[in-house]
């Protein structure tokens, strides 16, 4: 972030206008349904995610390394939302996983000044909003009371917007930019019934294939406990890894951490 603050701080010294335009937890298996009915379940969940990798939030800016744990990231977390929807009709299945985060980072930097410019301080703020959605359809390849296997294929959509503001010498400048892309993905989901109430599952996908991202993949595994006919509790671990670099934008990151969710089936 420092590189962006420094660049904006110097722009405070001369009049100019900056403007830019942009060029899950899946939960326990839905209860048995007849061949003519759909079954759906929805799981809002908490994801204690950290992030590592490298990003260039602005096409005109430098690439910076990031390595932030969940505990380090909480201070700058404005809002985060995560939800998974799962549906099944006979052997046809549907999976949708959506994530939204809004984070900010602030700091103040001192500049020693020159013969033409007095020493001053510039306050900077970087605000980042991210939306990610993965939508897949598929077919149940194996369907037994103890074990199911689903083959999946679909798309993953990313939209990232960044805004940086620097203030000093009685002036303020702002620069904002957004970018997004869509990747094809293929995947699979397995589900094991251990007891009447306890189950485990795993869902994974891989994609990108240089269509937009060079590579993107995700993995989710949870243990699930059925509370009643409609409610279940899940806990596990989730990873989303993406390697994207195009038109000056770099988003090569891995989001990972434990998840907990509460599923409602209807």
CA angle at 53 for the pair 185 and 127, rounded to the nearest 5°: 95
Question: 27-31, 167-171, 211-215 — which is least confidently predicted?
Answer: 27-31
Sign of CA dihedral 134, 140, 141, 144: positive
pLDDT digits (tens, 9 = 90+) for 187-197: 999 999 999 99
Q: Which tokens belong to 127?
A: 């605000």
Judge contact between 120 and 113, C-beta under 8 A: yes
Comparing 1-5, 87-91, 172-176, 256-260, which segment has the lowest mean pLDDT? 1-5
E-strand ranges in the chain read 38-47, 50-56, 64-68, 77-89, 92-111, 120-143, 147-168, 171-193, 198-207, 215-226, 231-246, 249-265
- pLDDT of the residue at 175: 74
- Name the pTM for this structure: 0.76
- pLDDT digits over 226-244, tens only? 999 999 999 999 999 999 9
Q: What is the mean pLDDT of residues 223-228?
A: 97
């Amino acid at each position: 972030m420092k590189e962006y603050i420094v660049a904006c701080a110097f722009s405070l010294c001369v009049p100019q206008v900056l403007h830019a335009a942009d060029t899950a937890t899946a939960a326990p298996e839905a209860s048995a349904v007849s061949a003519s009915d759909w079954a759906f379940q929805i799981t809002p969940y908490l994801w204690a995610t950290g992030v590592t990798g490298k990003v260039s939030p602005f096409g005109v800016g430098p690439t910076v390394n990031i390595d932030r744990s969940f505990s380090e990231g909480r201070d700058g977390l404005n809002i985060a939302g995560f939800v998974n929807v799962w549906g099944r009709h006979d052997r046809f299945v549907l999976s949708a996983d959506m994530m939204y985060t809004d984070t900010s980072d602030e700091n103040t930097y001192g500049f020693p000044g020159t013969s033409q410019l007095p020493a001053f301080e510039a306050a900077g703020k970087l605000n980042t909003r991210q939306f990610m959605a993965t939508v897949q359809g598929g077919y149940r390849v194996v369907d037994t009371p103890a074990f199911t296997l689903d083959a999946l294929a679909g798309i993953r959509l990313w939209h990232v917007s960044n805004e940086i503001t620097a203030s000093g010498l009685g002036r303020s400048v702002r620069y904002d930019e957004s970018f997004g892309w869509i990747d094809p993905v293929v995947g699979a989901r397995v589900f094991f019934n251990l007891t009447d109430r306890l189950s485990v599952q795993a869902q994974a996908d891989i994609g990108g294939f240089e269509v937009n991202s060079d590579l993107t993949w995700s993995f989710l595994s949870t243990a699930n406990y059925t509370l009643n006919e409609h409610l279940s509790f899940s806990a596990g671990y989730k990873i989303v890894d993406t390697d994207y670099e195009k038109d000056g934008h770099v988003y090569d990151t891995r989001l990972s951490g434990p998840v907990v969710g509460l599923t409602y089936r209807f």
